[in-house]
Amino acid sequence: MPACKFVLLNLLLLLFCVVYSANQRSRIDIAIFLEKNEHAEATARAIKNALNVIKAKTKYQVIEHVFSLNKESTFEAGQIVCDLVSSNGLAAIFGPECPEINEVIQSMSTSFQIPHFQTFSMSQLQQQQENVTTVLNLYPSSDTLSQALATLVKDNDWKSYTVIYEDEDGLLRLRESLKKRKPKDLSITFKKLGSGPDYRSVLKQIKNSEDFRFILDCKTDHILDILRQAREVKLLEDYHSYILTNLDAHSLNWSEFANVASNISTIRIIDLDSNQLKNAGKLWKVDSRRIKTRTALMYDAINLFITGFRDLASRNEPRIKPLNCASYDITDHGDDLQRIIRKPPKHTKTILPGYLSGPILFDLNGQRRNFQLQIIEMGKSQPRNFRLTGTWNSGNPKVISYKLTSEEREKELQKEIQTKNFRVVSRLGAPYLMERTSEYGKAYLGNDRFEGYSLDLMQEICSILNCSYTFELVPDGKYGNYDSVKKEWNGLIRHLLDRKADLAVCDLTITYERRLAVDFTMPFMTLGISVLYAKAVKEPPELLSFAHPLSLHVWLYMATSYLVISMIIFLVARLNPNDWENPHPCDPNPEELENIWNIRNCCWLTLGSIMAQGCDLLPKGVSTRMATASWWFFSLIMTSSYTANMAAFLTMSRMGLTIKSAEDLAGQTKIKYGCLKGGSTCSFFKDTNFSIYHQMWTQMESADPTVFETSNENGVKRVLSSKRKYAFLMENTNIEYESERNCELIQVGGQIDSKGYGIAMTSGFQYRKSFNEAILKMQEMGVLYRLKKKWWTEMNGGGQCKEEHSLSENTAAELGLDHVGGVFVVLFAGVGISLIFSCCEFLWMVKKFAVNEHIPFRRALKLELTFVFNIWERQKKVKKEPEKAIKQ
């Protein structure tokens, strides 16, 4: 009986040995190098899980040799590889995770032809320089990542940004984004963080710059620390945007940044919504959202290796042999295995359940290709979590497929606007913004302190967008001018660049230089430069203004010539025998000849000639006619000249302005002209290529005293006080406002240029489209016209000069009595003098009559007056003198 038991026991032992031999697993040794950190445990757990699945599904017994090394353990890593290769041989090497140790391990794997799976970033240029054939890198290359970042930067329209990097490898990941820059783009700033852990000094330097878009490249463990310190120095405000280049940024705990208003985006290669990742998280007993990229890549590398090893064994069982480190031995399986992994059979099925990082393909250099990155950003809704916004594929590197449509984005922005209170900066200046005067001792607060076009404009916009706003004044009161010496802006633009406000609303002109610094909405008001000038003062015309066409000297010379020529004609007529005539034509032999050219007749002839009326007495002698003809020619020229000059003089007296356009200003030197110092008008004349306007700028710049003013108000005051010796160049909208309230001012000429007022905003303002749509809607509804009419012609004394304008237009070509009153004076004076002479002659005649008739003077006067006032009497008897009566 004991013998039977012994035999039975031997049979069972023999059967066990046969079964064990039949099921003996093939041993595969692999080396895995991990970096010593808090994530090494999770990676080791993932490796252990993968090997358990491999053991359950295959006949292979994979023996893992896991080593956690520091980056300084370069010699130790080489010794480990040499020992493993010499003992049992190595089927593959995985890792290391840090580039510092990789150089030694990669060199040994290349020498022995052992497949080497890497899980860290390496540029394709480095791969090509090493001439590597056995390395298979599952991590996207730096060149490929840089292409993805370049496309993301381009789609976000980042023209200027700051690169914050921890080491030089970060610059490699940005190579393509730098290549995409154009010469006209602003410069990119680079800031190295340093060794840490305190990065505040560098972050404060970045805060003082004008950039608000940042690309942050650093290690995963440092991301939150850097952002915490950025929040302390006010670099995580509403207008800041970040792109994180680390593929593990999504795995961090972002709960403490739930209230941060900055826009934070990043990229990842693993899909958190995939079933493979969720199942892996359950098996590894970790949150799938916290799985690191290198852990997933290490898992995928093992899956890739064992699947390739299985496919190779289906053709020819590979033999893994020990190698001598001192010799030049190479593996028998290495070249075949890496070849089949790079080009796997069609419809091959992986041993482990899928790849966590997506499909895996390699190029000839062993670099991963044709993979997909997910673009994720931190959502605005609470609680703030990362959400998928787009995908980028290395096969089409210039395109990002966005998950959110433009309509969905617009809806989100509209919801955000409704919760926003925009900080609006402005400056005082009628009618755009004015301080309200207190009534009954009431103190105004907030927006109630102000009134004006700008306030109403924002009110109308926010009524459309359903938002709110708060107005504040810029400290220096300037619009915004760039100082090329100090390399900085002032005024409203400076306020926006410092992120002290979201919007700038006033009469701020959109210029090319300002557009480089900030963004603008579409113009809410179009305008142009024009000339502000004072109206001509209408002085009362002089009584003898008709004499102004000729100077006093000419009048005196004419009077003297009149008397001299009259005397000459008298003398010539007495010398000339032809002017002595027979007083009795019927008597052919007269005893006496008579000369009619006495002084009185000569003066009458010359007077009638110069008055263009002629005379019934004409000279007969040649010499007298020559003298008379010379006087007639003189009279013709002087009369015609007076008439022509009189017309021109009256025309000039009706022309109120001495200039009609800016070109007229450039062509004279009597009237000085200037503009607002440092404003858009000043920039226009300074930078223009038009010769006339450049000439005007030269004259303005060289004028002494200066013709530039610090404000439009001062320019208006100077125009009024200069007595038409100064003109001010400013926007026609401001001229219209001033001329509506001060009737002494007028706009001269049309617009020199064409530009517009727009709402300035921080560069990259995400609500710009909504504001543009609101302004366009207001324009179509006539709201902008209504606002302008309200503040230009209705409020604060507007429209008071309309009646005067229409009156001046109707009477511009008329001459009043004041202009020709002197002519009436001359007429009445001449008639009065003639009446006086007539009375004198009448009295002299009456006296002679009284003496001749021997009657009293009074009776003779009565008789003559009775006859004079008897208007029906047409004949008068001749009264002969006594001497003549005796002779007869």
Distance in angstroms (rounded) separating the CA atoms of residues 861 and 858 = 5
The stretches of 579-690 forming alpha helices (DSSP H) are 599-610, 622-654, 662-666, 680-687
Q: What b/e string do you get for 37-63 counting C-beta neighbours within 10 Å, with b at 16 or more? A: bebbebbbebbebbbebbeeebebebe
Distances from the Cα of 520 to the Cαs of 108, 175, 240, 684, 757, in angstroms? 60, 31, 18, 19, 9
Q: Which two tokens stand for residue 650?
A: 């009256």
Tell how strand 361-362 and strand 241-244 pair up: unpaired
Is 35 part of any known ligand binding site? no
**Strand 503-504 versus strand 519-520 pairing type:** unpaired
Strand order in the sheet with 372-378: 189-192, 162-165, 213-217, 241-244, 263-268, 372-378, 386-393, 400-402
H/E/C letters for each residue in 56-124? HHCCEEEEEEEEEECCCCHHHHHHHHHHHHHHCCCCEEECCCCHHHHHHHHHHHHHHCCCEEECCCCCH
Please give the helix or strand (H or E) that residue 265 lies within, else none: strand 263-268
Beta bridge partners of 675: 729
Coil, helix or strand for 341?
Answer: helix
* Range 509-512 contact pairs with CB under 8 angstroms and sequence separation of 24 or more: 509/479, 509/679, 509/680, 509/731, 509/755, 509/756, 509/757, 510/755, 510/756, 510/757, 510/758, 511/680, 511/683, 511/755
Q: Which amino acid is at 539?
A: E
Residue 111 labelled as part of a binding site: no
Rounded Cα distance, 298 and 467, in Å: 50
419 annotated ligand binder: no
Q: What is the CA radius of gyration of the chain?
A: 54
Question: Which H or E element spans position 483?
Answer: strand 482-483
Query: How buried is residue 824: exposed, middle or buried, by Cβ count under 10 Å (0-12/13-18/19+)?
Result: exposed
All residues at 6 or more sequence positions from 769 whose CB lies less than 8 Å from its CB, including other chains:
410, 413
**Dist CA 744 CA 341 (whole Å):** 91
Report how far residue 644's alpha carbon sits from residue 289's, in angstroms, rounded to the nearest whole number: 99
CA 767, CA 422: separation in Å to the nearest integer? 11
Which are the contacts of 686, defined by CB distance < 8 A and separation ≥ 6? 697
372-378/386-393 β-pairing: antiparallel
Task: Please give the Cα distance from 10 to 526 (Å, whole number).
Answer: 108
CB 730 within 8 A of CB 533: no
In the block, tokens 């109120």 appear at 656
Is 213 annotated as a binding-site member? no
169 and 146 Cβ atoms separated by less than 8 Å: no
Residue 680 labeled ligand binder: yes
Secondary structure, 3-state, 285-340: CCCHHHCCHHHHHHHHHHHHHHHHHHHHHCCCCCCCCCCCCCCCCCCCCHHHHHHH
Contact 354, 300 (CB under 8 A): no
Expressed in percent and rounded to 5, the helix, strand and coil fractions of the chain are: 50, 15, 35
Q: What CA–CA distance (Å, rounded) separates 851 from 841? A: 16
- The set of residues, in sequence order, having a beta carbon less than 8 Å from that of 398 and lying 6+ positions away, is 151
**Residues contributing to the annotated binding site for L-glutamate:** 509, 514, 680-681, 731
**Residues contributing to the annotated binding site:** 509, 514, 680-681, 731
